[in-house]
Structure 1
Amino acid sequence: MILSFSEEAGAPKVTGEWAAEETARTTFRRWIGLYGSGTATIRVEVEDDDGSTVIVDTWPAST
C-alpha cells in the first residue's frame, strides 16, 4: 500500500510504502491527526496486478 501526503492535490510531498495494509491505515489515521486540519490531501493507494494505481481512501473524503 502506498500512502501520500500533499499540500497540493496530485503532488505528493511525502510518500511511504508498506506491505501490510494495517500499517498503512494506522499511518493514514496518524497523518490525519497531524495534518488533517489544514489544506493537506492524504491518500491510501494500492497497485493492481496490471500496474495501475487505485485510490482506496482519502482525506478529506471528497478529494
Structure 2
Amino acid sequence: MESRYLARLRFVAASPAVQGEWTVLATAEERYTTWVGLYSQNTAVVIQLIEEANGQERVLRSWTAQGETASENV
C-alpha cells in the first residue's frame, strides 16, 4: 500500500487539528515548514509531519515550544 503524508497542526495539544494530506512527502514537508514559520511563536502549538500506511501513523517530525524532534529514519 502507498503511504500518505500528513501535516497536522493543533493550536493546543490534544485539541481538534487542522490537517493536510498528500501522496508526495516533499509537499507535506513544505506545509509543515510553513506552519512552523507561521505559528512557532505560539507556545501551545503542536505541529507534526506524519507518514500513514496501512492505517498506522508514524510521526516523522514534530514541533512544540520545546523545539523540533525527528524520527531516526527521516
TM-score range, shorter chain: 0.7 to 0.9
Verify: 1:36 aligned to 2:57, yes or no: no
TM-score between the two structures when normalised by the length of structure 2: 0.72
Query: Hey, what does 2:56 align to over in structure 1?
Result: 52
- How many residues align? The count is 61
Query: Hey, what does 2:15 align to over in structure 1?
Result: 11
Q: Give 1:37 shift.
A: 1.0
Give % identity.
26
Structure 1: unaligned runs, 5 residues or longer: none
SS at match of 1:26: helix
User: How big is each residue's C-alpha offset from its partner over 1:6-51, in whole Å with a ceiling of 9 and x where there is no partner?
Assistant: 01223342100011100110111110111111021000111133x2
Question: What RMSD in Å do the two structures reach over aligned CA positions?
Answer: 1.4
The code of the aligned residue for 2:51 comes to: V
Structure 2: unaligned runs, 5 residues or longer: 70-74
- Greater C-alpha Rg: 2
